[in-house]
Chain A
């Protein structure tokens, strides 16, 4: 086994971008993303990376400059959180529509108002359908590995899409974890230099971003949608290749203790570490629960999720975002739709946890288990709405 060293996850994320030999970085600071961009600025300032760091005046311009740089043929990186992601919103769709393989580390944070610098998933969930490949990370090692893999996924000629790597603000971004940083040589062997299909260059003029009349718009969007759906195969290939090279294997959907249990949690991001702890604790009490961890959120890994759900009876969908007037939170709605389409009868509950940095403890998941699993089939979990907001003082 290689050496792991204790390092702040944000710093490791910026080192991953460096290892990917990014060429243009355009970023604007926002808590809790700051350590990533500060450290990258330092790396560039020290001449440790051949790159241009554009100190843009807003996230809107960050994403716009990334589009320009990608169009010129450079490998680009940016990172943001919350308000910054929302300010980029318009350009997120354009980056994917124009098929720029930009990579962005999104350090998840709650959206105002009220202003909160603390973590939850309201930022990424508001940007989930922007045509980006969306990955979630459970721990620091995954963050590093995902950033490196993201370029290989996005830049693949069969894909050509931007990739968003999500890591939870503070609870992941600011913790020190033992992380194995691959060597530059290994990364170079895994990730070749970006070889763009089209670039802006006077020797071969191309037009990018022309407008689509009704007779073409649908076809353009259909082609893009086909690309993101088909990207799953490439994503899986890249994960496999990464595993062979680095010995760490990833899958779009990962499971923990699901063999024995007909009760499963489904969650996104670092909260899954606490769920695993809860599962271990429950086991000591003779109770079996499993976890389905969605590493890949877009394209939605329906097949993988379906097989993980086979034989399961009760599902607790854990999310860190308010539904905002919707029936349930986004992931719940999507799983419900998947279950309905496949005629599965699942007893599903929707739990909203950890909003704006509210603590989420393993005990919470034990409580959820006890509420759902221990009760008689007919007995419904007591809920305020279609979902339960944990630890709320209503």
Chain B
């Protein structure tokens, strides 16, 4: 088992596996998240990707920005495809058809591909204990198809299918807690991360890579296009999400919860909401409701982590 070296992780791997030529929007933190993550996963990685922004921006036939073996099959099955790859590689090594070495399989889905349509395939793959890492790049909506709500869209947010109106506040449901759902499978490693905190992300990728069995990373990936913020502000909003407690950075290692980036006192939620076009319509009532919920969840997480 890896010791808790998280804060001390300062290594910055040089090699890039997500390279120039992709078509992501300016300032996209989702592709940044992947770029950072794969620096740590490194060369001996096979990637199975769900349909979504990251697939579409990276691989228009006959181009790719991936320097890794990469496959896309469909939207809802990245985890199942990864299961097959992991099994295939394993049996071919066992039979001596390919050389034995430590090849890691990574599946990637957006929040829609993970929390909605791909949840069953993900749950199956985690439960079956394939040795792979699943990354959910969470930009809080179906961005690829034009900003429709997902079950990871936050309360109150405007999307094209949760529009605010006379009878609507915007998204009317609370964000699905995917990391907890993953952790409920009792897998060895679950963590949240955000590319605004690259070293925290590096360390978590490293752990996810090393554990025996499945691991799950939930990466908040600011999407300037969908969140209606200036393209230069993705890193800032990622930080604000953490500093306001909207998206705490923590890990669950063999069932042990640990906050990896403690925030002594949370900034008020308004600092995060203001300036985001998707929250522009929120009333004070809704904002205080959100603040209450954030406080409650933050306290709950602290309690779970034994933080005073």
B95 at interface, CB cutoff 8 A: yes
Contact partner of B84 among A70, A204, A209, A216, CB < 8 A?
Answer: A70
Is B97's CB under 8 angstroms from A211's CB? no
- Check: B181 CB closer than 8 A to any chain A CB: no
Contact between B60 and A72 (Cβ–Cβ < 8 Å)? Answer: no
Query: How far, in angstroms, from A181 to B88 measured CA to CA in the complex?
Result: 27
Q: Say what secondary structure dominates the interface of chain A.
A: mixed
**Which of B61, B68, B81 meets A210, CB within 8 Å?**
B61
Contact A52 B69 (CB under 8 A): no
Question: Does B239 count as interface, using CB distance less than 8 angstroms?
Answer: no
Q: Give the residues from 57 to 73 in chain B that come closer than 8 angstroms, CB to CB, to chain A.
A: 59-64, 66-73
Q: In whole Å, how far is B51's beta carbon from the nearest beta carbon of chain A?
A: 9
Instruction: Give every chain A residue within 8 A of B128 (Cβ-Cβ).
Output: 54-56
| Cα-based distance from A67 to B83 in the complex (angstroms) | 10
Q: Does B94 contact A (CB under 8 A)?
A: yes
Task: Report whether A211 and B60 are in contact in the complex, using a CB–CB cutoff of 8 Å.
Answer: yes
**A54-B83, A60-B80, A64-B80 are contacts. A212–B61 as well, Cβ < 8 Å?**
yes
| Known contacts A91-B74, A205-B66; A220 and B61 CB within 8 A of each other | yes
Contact B70–A205 (Cβ < 8 Å): yes
Given A60-B77, A64-B73, A209-B73, A193 and B84 touching (CB < 8 A)?
Answer: no
The reply on A43 being an interface residue by CB < 8 A is: no
**Per-residue interface assignment for chain A, residues 51 to 77, with 1 indicating a CB less than 8 Å from any chain B CB and 0 otherwise:** 110111110111011111111111010
> Shortest CB–CB separation between residue B70 and chain A, in angstroms?
5
Q: Is B255 part of the binding interface, using a Cβ–Cβ cutoff of 8 Å?
A: no
| B61–A211 touching, CB < 8 Å | yes
B88 touches A69 (CB 8 A): yes
Interface string of B71-97 (1 = CB under 8 A from A): 111101101111111111111101101
Which residues does chain B contribute within 8 Å of A61, judged by CB atoms? 77, 79-80, 83, 120-121, 124-125
- In Å, the complex CA distance between A205 and B69 comes to 4
A56 and B77 contact, Cβ closer than 8 Å, known pairs A73-B98, A211-B55: no
Shortest Cβ distance from A100 into chain B, in angstroms? 10
Q: Are A57 and B124 in contact, CB atoms less than 8 angstroms apart?
A: yes
**Chain A residues, Cβ within 8 Å of B73:** 64, 67-68, 91, 94, 98, 209
CB-contact partner of A64 in B64, B68, B77, under 8 A: B77
* Distance of A207 Cα from B48 Cα, bound (Å): 10
**Assembly CA distance A57 to B123 (angstroms):** 9
Cα of A201 to Cα of B124 in the assembled complex, Å: 24
List of B residues within 8 angstroms of A56 by Cβ:
80, 83, 124, 128
- For residue B223, CB closer than 8 A to chain A, the reply is no
- B10-36 interface (Cβ within 8 A of A): none
Say yes or no: A68-B82 contact (C-beta < 8 A), given A60-B77, A73-B98. yes
Q: Which residues of A contact B81 (CB under 8 A)?
A: 64-65, 67-68, 71
Q: Chain A, 84-113, contact with B by CB distance < 8 Å: what is the 0/1 string? A: 000000110010001000000000000000
Establish whether residues B88 and A71, one from each chain, have CB atoms under 8 Å apart when the complex forms. Answer: yes
The CA-CA distance from A296 to B86 in the complex, in Å, is 34
Interface residue A304 (Cβ < 8 Å from any Cβ of B): no
B132-180 interface with A by 8 A CB criterion: none
Inter-chain CA distance A94–B79, complex, in Å, is 16
- Contact A211 B56, beta carbon cutoff 8 Å: yes
- Given A91-B77, A207-B59, are A65 and B70 neighbors across the interface (CB < 8 Å)? no
Contact with A along B258-287 (1 / 0, CB 8 A): 000000000000000000000000000000
Is the beta-carbon distance between A52 and B80 smaller than 8 angstroms? no
Complex alpha-carbon distance, A72 and B63, angstroms? 21
Report yes or no: A73 in contact with B92, Cβ–Cβ below 8 A. Answer: yes
The answer to whether A66 touches B98 (Cβ under 8 A) is no
Q: What's the interface size class on B, roughly?
A: 35 or more
A229 at the interface (CB under 8 A from B): no
Whether B84 lies near A26 (C-beta < 8 A) is yes
Min CB distance B26 to A, Å, is: 22
Contact of A82 with B by CB under 8 A: no
CA of A218 to CA of B46 in the docked complex: distance in angstroms?
29
Indicate if B103 sits at the interface (CB-CB under 8 A): yes
Query: In the complex, which residues of chain A have a beta carbon less than 8 angstroms from the beta carbon of B72?
Result: 208-211
Judge whether B44 is part of the interface by a CB distance below 8 angstroms: yes
Given the known A-B contacts A90-B74, A193-B97, are A23 and B124 also in contact in the complex, defined by CB atoms under 8 Å? no
Expressed in whole angstroms, the Cα–Cα distance for A200 and B70 within the complex equals 7
A200-B71 in contact given A24-B87, A210-B59, A220-B61 (Cβ < 8 Å): yes
CB neighbours (8 Å) of B79 from chain A are 61
How distant is the Cα of A281 from the Cα of B67 in the complex, in angstroms? Answer: 67
Interface presence of B206 (CB below 8 A): no
A24–B43 CB distance below 8 A:
no
Q: Which of A26, A67, A212 has the most CB of B within 10 A?
A: A67
Give A164 to B64 CA distance when docked, in angstroms: 32
Which chain A residue shows the least CB distance to B104? Answer: A202
Set B48, B60, B95, B127: member contacting A68, Cβ < 8 A? B48
* Interface check B45, CB cutoff 8 A: yes
Please determine whether A211 and B59 come into contact, CB atoms closer than 8 angstroms. Answer: yes
A52 in contact with B87 (CB, 8 Å): yes
Task: Given A60-B77, A68-B81, A71-B71, decide whether A201 and B60 contact each other with a Cβ distance below 8 A.
Answer: no
Measured CA separation A24–B45 after assembly (Å): 20
A52–B73 Cα gap in the complex (Å)? 21
- Beta-carbon contacts of A351-379 to B below 8 Å, as 1s and 0s? 00000000000000000000000000000
Question: Within 8 Å CB of A66, what residues of B?
Answer: 84
Give Cα A61 to B62, complex, Å. 27
* B123 proximity list for chain A (CB < 8 A): 57
Chain A to chain B: the 3 pairs with minimum beta-carbon distance, closest first = A68-B84, A72-B88, A57-B124
Provide 9 A-B residue pairs closer than 8 Å at the C-beta atoms, listed in order of the A residue.
A52-B90, A58-B120, A62-B80, A71-B84, A202-B103, A205-B66, A205-B69, A207-B59, A210-B62
User: Which B residues have a C-beta under 8 Å from some C-beta of A?
Assistant: 43-46, 48, 55-56, 59-64, 66-74, 76-77, 79-92, 94-95, 97-98, 103, 120-121, 123-125, 127-128
Extra 19 A-B pairs, beta carbons < 8 Å, given A52-B90, A72-B89, A208-B70: A24-B87, A50-B91, A50-B94, A52-B88, A52-B91, A55-B128, A56-B128, A60-B77, A60-B120, A61-B77, A64-B121, A200-B46, A200-B69, A202-B44, A205-B70, A209-B71, A210-B60, A210-B61, A210-B63
